[in-house]
Amino acid sequence: MGKSILTLFAVLLLRQSAYTQDRILDISGYIDAGAAWLGERTVSVGDTAFETRQSKFTYLTQRFNLLPSSEFGRVKIFANIEYNSGSGDEHKSGTFELFEAWSQYTFSDALKLRGGILTPPFGAFNATRDASPTFLGVLPPSVFDEGFEEIDFMPQFANVLIFGTTTVGSIDVEYALFTGNGIGTEGEMSIDGNNGKDYGARFAVTPSDDLTLGFSAWRSGVEDYESGISEVHTLFGTDVLFSSGDLEIRAEYIPGYDEINGVQFFKATGFVITSYTVEETVTPYVLFDYLRNDAHIKMSHIQNRISAGITYKPVWRTALKAQFIRDMYSRSGVDDISYFFVGVSILF
């Protein structure tokens, strides 16, 4: 109910701004939809396998996003209203939420202030993944799959962001500092009583037109007063973007640890995407990514994903996609899983 009220408020606010002479209202968005074939797979918890599920063919709407925004002078207001095909309420499929909603004031290119509900710019991929279908395939690297946010491989939300760009000599420099509420048990009136807030930063340098290097850090405190569990999540990240002509290589490596009641557990994730665009319309690519979280019962062993696919853009703002994925696990008793996806992305 609260999210529905926030969604309505954001839309009405942006609509109202359209009636002011010096304000511009823009509504854009995108849809990712398609079909999938899921190979035979084993359901397990930790090292224990429970059942084997047969192959399955299914349709899916990965995402449908409306992106209203309004700009007036130095102020910008933005919202990201998202529907995805994840699990919803009983007997319903999919969830609907106000994914982002923020206001931004621009002092200069070197200093911008943003506040509200926003995606933290931890790593280059995370900074843009919810603004448009930035990933080539139907599914992004597994760390960005729906559901992995619950095990804190990546900071999901922040409330305040200070960022900007500048030039030092011939090198372009980007910076971002962000903070937000930690994850905790809500108290009365939905007030977050958690004192362990989130803090993070990212710095990136572009020494040449074809190379960008980024460095990120994030710390999140978790307090659950009902169970008495105290947690601290810490991540460090490096990201590289290399592009030369039609060739692009994008890579990130993010190690860190979870500290639960004083005991530390290692975790890490990383991915490499290599793509090559032919005649600006056809882009074949290969992807490798890896996940491990020693504190999590499902991710306490390594998951590796190898993926290959192709994206074809027949017309402007439309992309047809096909992607094969192979997930491989180090857990005993758990078989590797194959997926095949076909889909379409349309921007409007």
| 78/68 Cα distance (integer angstroms) | 6
150 is written with which tokens? 């619950």
Q: Is 60 exceeded by the pLDDT of residue 7?
A: no
Report pLDDT digits (tens) over 128-145.
766 555 667 777 787 776
- Supply the CATH number for residue 133's domain: 2.40.160.10
Enumerate residues 6+ apart whose C-beta is below 8 A from 289. 141, 142, 143, 269, 270, 271, 272, 304, 305, 307
Question: Quick check: 25 and 14 in contact, CB under 8 A?
Answer: yes
- Higher pLDDT: 253 or 96? It is 253
64 is written with which tokens? 């449908």
Q: Is 60 exceeded by the pLDDT of residue 11?
A: no
The mean-pLDDT minimum among 91-95, 137-141, 211-215, 301-305 falls in: 91-95
Read off φ and ψ for residue 14, nearest 5 degrees. -70, -35
The band of 94, judged by pLDDT with boundaries at 50, 70 and 90, is low
| 39/325 Cα distance (integer angstroms) | 10
pTM to 2 decimals? 0.80
Q: Is 60 exceeded by the pLDDT of residue 47?
A: no
Question: Quick check: 111 and 98 in contact, CB under 8 A?
Answer: no
Question: Quick check: 162 and 112 in contact, CB under 8 A?
Answer: yes
Q: Is 50 exceeded by the pLDDT of residue 204?
A: yes
What average pLDDT does this structure show over 40-52?
55
The band of 170, judged by pLDDT with boundaries at 50, 70 and 90, is confident
- Higher pLDDT: 252 or 227? It is 252
Residue range(s) defining the domain that contains residue 149: 2-347
Q: Is 90 exceeded by the pLDDT of residue 206?
A: yes
Beta bridge partners of 129: none
Question: Quick check: 287 and 307 in contact, CB under 8 A?
Answer: yes
142 is written with which tokens? 């597994």
Question: Quick check: 171 and 205 in contact, CB under 8 A?
Answer: yes
| 192/195 Cα distance (integer angstroms) | 9
| 165/215 Cα distance (integer angstroms) | 15
Number of residues written out for the chain:
348
Q: Nearest-5° angle of CA 114, CA 139, CA 266?
A: 70
The number of distinct structural domains making up the chain is 1
What's the CA dihedral at 107, 113, 118, 121 to 10 degrees? Answer: 80
What's the CA dihedral at 128, 131, 137, 141 to 10 degrees? Answer: 40
Q: What is the CA radius of gyration of the chain?
A: 21
Q: How far is CA 175 from the centre of its chain?
A: 19
pLDDT for res 41? 59
DSSP, collapsed to helix, strand or coil, labels residue 185 as coil
Q: Is 60 exceeded by the pLDDT of residue 246?
A: yes
Cα separations in angstroms, 192 against 87, 120, 158 = 25, 19, 14
DSSP string, 60-77: EEEEEEEEEEEEETTEEE
140 is written with which tokens? 């992004």
Question: Quick check: 229 and 236 in contact, CB under 8 A?
Answer: no
The mean-pLDDT minimum among 10-14, 105-109, 159-163, 272-276 falls in: 10-14
Average pLDDT, the chain: 79
The band of 275, judged by pLDDT with boundaries at 50, 70 and 90, is very high
Name the percent of the chain lying above pLDDT 90: 33
Burial of 74 (0-12, 13-18, 19+ CB in 10 A): exposed
pLDDT for res 293? 81
What average pLDDT does this structure show over 320-328?
88
